[in-house]
């Protein structure tokens, strides 16, 4: 699409500068979005993307520059004011209330009762109308917690459209979606474009940029590097804009990994973990199994990838191994050749297991606490014998971790929530490496982080395997799993459907197995 002939953008940001104390996080950034276009906002974590969006959405009010909403200058002081101006943001962590119904979520904060009574019938009818408008056929009274993540994503979009949003900002909307669900979302984005709405789309997935992007603007270190029609920007050039350096001939932009990245351990070492007929319930006290009859072996210095579509049970397998379901799991677990019962996460840590969860904000970090406290959280039993904290000992341990993980932070006293996504992920990794694990479970270790931070985490993973740590990892990015894994085990509805050695797996064979075609 050619936006040059469109006279008035839906939103125009000019010379935006934002400071946090003495730290300048945006320097004179300009950005706009036109009717009927998807404008990709790209850049490494910490580049300023989230800050720019929060300025646009009224989260931050103390900034320099100017914003025009639909041709008129305005300065919203809250997200509510920005929504009234026609701008709505759909964040990576959805803002829905799980226990409430779809209709209640869509009208949350906007209910106007008559005589103290909420107009339920009217809300349900309007909810049904907006849901049908985006092709979502669910009942308005359905609790949000009963919906799959893809449907929850669409409910967020319905919520924005019910407020007559003309500009929608989508922050990593496909991070937890399967391929068919991504297709559904992209079809909806196409419909929104045809209606003349503008989409600001934040993603770290190269294939998405080429698939739906009309224009790309890249930020780096709080400054705008450049803007260009998506079809004219090659992957290699986009990466150079984002990171300011060439990542080397082995870098594969589509995969976000090196084209060839075998584990440093040429020959895997002794057995670290073995599963025999291992099963995991779908929830505490549930008779239904999320994982059933899994046999698996993991050796020192080896990376085994777990592949599967949504509902396959890969995350539940890791949680079950880590003791999150207590002793409700079935089958046998062997650690270093000895049969072991893992009854709790504390048991798991004592036996040399560590688990990086897929959601660093909900279950990985305490965002309102300092980096140092987060980094020692899983190892306090050893660092604080008898329950007495030893700040000097903790500081020395975290200093060493920060250097080893190449953490970028002004101070270890910074709150974890003030860090970029990539650096938050490093703190979450530091928390577990501090425990000295022999087996490390990684659930989506690069979810929601930029290409430069991914490369650093890949390097850390290879350093750990070189030290003899065994890694069992999941990733929804299949090229990443293919590049990193020595072996790949595929699950479909909780059962193993295929296992591949290095060089045997292809994207097609893994996807077929993930869809239930046994090999």
Report phi then psi at 502, rounded to 5: -60, 135
pLDDT in tens, 442-469: 999 998 787 888 888 999 999 999 999 9
The whole-number pLDDT of residue 260 equals 45
| Model pLDDT for residues 292-329, shown as the tens digit of each residue | 999 999 999 999 999 987 678 999 999 999 999 999 99
Structure tokens at 223: 């400054």
pLDDT at position 1:
47
Q: Which of 3-7, 191-195, 260-264, 515-519 has the lowest mean pLDDT?
A: 260-264
- Which has the minimum average pLDDT: 18-32, 233-247, 249-263? 249-263
The reported pLDDT for the residue numbered 111 is: 61
CB 434, CB 465: distance < 8 Å: no
Please work out, in degrees rounded to the nearest 5, the angle formed at the alpha carbon of residue 109 by the alpha carbons of 107 and 111: 60
- What DSSP state is assigned to residue 502? T
Lowest mean pLDDT among 48-57, 348-357, 371-380: 371-380
Q: Is the dihedral of CA 154, 156, 158, 164 positive or negative?
A: negative
| pLDDT band at residue 113 using 50, 70 and 90 as cut-offs | low
Please give the pLDDT value at position 385.
73
Residues paired with 276 in a beta bridge: 332
Q: How confident is the model at residue 249 (pLDDT cuts 50, 70, 90)?
A: very low
Q: Tokens 């350093």 correspond to what residue? A: 463
Give the pLDDT confidence of 162-213 residue by residue, as tens digits.
888 999 999 888 876 777 888 888 999 999 999 999 999 998 777 888 899 9
* 421 or 277, higher pLDDT: 277
Q: What is the pLDDT of residue 384?
A: 74
Q: Tell me: pLDDT of 258 over 80.
A: no
Res. 243: pLDDT tops 80: no
Q: Per CATH, is 269-352+437-519 categorized as 3.30.70.360?
A: no
pTM of the model: 0.60
Percent of the chain with pLDDT over 70: 90
Where does 15-58 have alpha helices with state H?
A: 49-56
CA–CA distance, 243 with 361 (Å, rounded to integer): 25
Please give the average per-residue pLDDT across 26-36, as a whole number.
96
Numbers of helices and strands, H then E, in the chain: 17, 22
* Owner of token pair 């003495």: 22
Residue-wise pLDDT tens digits, 335-352: 999 999 999 999 999 999
Q: Which fold has domain 11-86+166-245?
A: Rossmann fold (3.40.50)
Give the residue-averaged pLDDT of 107-120. 67
Tokens of 427: 């703190």
Share of the chain above pLDDT 90, in %: 48
CB 103 within 8 A of CB 46: no
Distances (CA, A) of 454 to 118, 133, 290, 408, 423: 48, 38, 30, 14, 11
The answer to whether residue 127 scores a pLDDT higher than 70 is yes
Count of other CB atoms within 10 angstroms of residue 465? 24
| 51-88 confidence digits (pLDDT tens) | 999 999 999 989 999 999 999 999 999 999 999 999 99
310 in Cβ contact with 480 (< 8 Å):
no
Between 112 and 309, residue with greater pLDDT: 309
**CA distance linking residue 45 with residue 55, whole number of Å:** 17
Give pLDDT tens digits for 478-503.
888 999 999 999 998 899 999 999 88
Q: What is the mean pLDDT of the chain?
A: 86
- 14-18, 177-181, 220-224, 406-410: which range is least confident on average? 177-181
Q: Where are the domains of the chain?
A: 11-86+166-245, 269-352+437-519, 366-432
pLDDT band at 156 (very low <50, low <70, confident <90, very high): confident
Confidence band for 264, pLDDT divided at 50, 70 and 90: very low
């Amino acid at each position: 699409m050619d936006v040059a002939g469109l006279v008035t953008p839906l939103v125009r940001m000019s010379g935006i500068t934002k400071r946090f104390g003495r730290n300048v996080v945006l320097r004179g950034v300009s950005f706009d979005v036109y009717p009927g276009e998807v404008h990709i906002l790209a850049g490494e974590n910490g580049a300023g993307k989230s800050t720019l969006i929060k300025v646009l959405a009224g989260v931050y009010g103390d900034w320099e520059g100017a914003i025009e909403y639909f041709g008129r200058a305005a300065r919203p002081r809250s997200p509510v004011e920005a929504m009234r101006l026609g701008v709505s943001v759909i964040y990576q962590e959805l803002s829905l209330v799980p226990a409430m119904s779809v209709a209640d979520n869509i009208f949350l904060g906007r209910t106007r009762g008559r005589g103290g009574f909420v107009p339920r019938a009217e809300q349900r009818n309007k909810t049904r109308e907006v849901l049908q408008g985006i092709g979502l056929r669910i009942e308005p009274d359905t609790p949000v917690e009963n919906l799959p993540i893809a449907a929850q994503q669409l409910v967020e979009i319905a919520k924005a459209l019910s407020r007559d949003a003309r500009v929608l900002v989508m922050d990593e909307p496909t991070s937890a979606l399967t391929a068919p669900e991504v297709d559904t979302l992209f079809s909806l984005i196409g419909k929104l474009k045809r209606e003349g709405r503008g989409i600001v789309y934040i993603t770290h997935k190269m294939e998405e940029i080429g698939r739906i992007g009309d224009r790309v603007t890249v930020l780096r270190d709080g400054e705008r590097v450049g803007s260009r029609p998506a079809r004219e920007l090659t992957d290699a050039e986009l990466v150079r804009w984002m990171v300011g350096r060439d990542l080397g001939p082995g870098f594969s932009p589509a995969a976000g990994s090196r084209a060839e990245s075998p584990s440093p351990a040429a020959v895997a070492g002794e057995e670290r973990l073995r599963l025999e007929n291992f099963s995991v319930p779908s929830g505490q006290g549930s008779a239904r199994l999320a994982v059933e009859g899994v046999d698996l072996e993991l050796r020192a210095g080896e990376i085994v990838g777990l592949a599967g579509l949504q509902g396959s049970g890969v995350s539940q397998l890791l949680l079950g191994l880590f003791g999150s379901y207590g002793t409700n799991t079935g089958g046998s677990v062997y650690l270093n050749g000895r049969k072991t019962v893992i009854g709790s996460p504390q048991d798991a840590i004592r036996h040399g297991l560590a688990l990086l969860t897929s959601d660093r904000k909900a279950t990985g970090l305490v965002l309102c606490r300092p980096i140092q406290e987060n980094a020692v959280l899983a190892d306090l039993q050893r660092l604080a014998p008898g329950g007495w904290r030893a700040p000097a000992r903790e500081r020395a341990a975290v200093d060493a971790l920060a250097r080893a993980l190449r953490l970028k932070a002004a101070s270890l006293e910074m709150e974890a929530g003030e860090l970029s996504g990539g650096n938050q992920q490093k703190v979450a990794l530091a928390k577990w490496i501090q425990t000295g694990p022999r087996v490390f479970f990684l659930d989506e270790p690069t979810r929601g982080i930029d290409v430069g931070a991914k490369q650093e985490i890949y390097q850390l993973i290879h350093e750990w395997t070189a030290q003899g740590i065994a890694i069992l990892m999941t990733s929804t990015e299949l090229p990443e799993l293919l590049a990193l894994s020595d072996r790949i085990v595929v699950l479909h509805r909780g059962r193993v459907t295929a296992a591949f050695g290095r060089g045997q797996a292809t994207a097609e064979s893994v996807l077929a197995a993930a869809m239930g075609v046994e090999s």
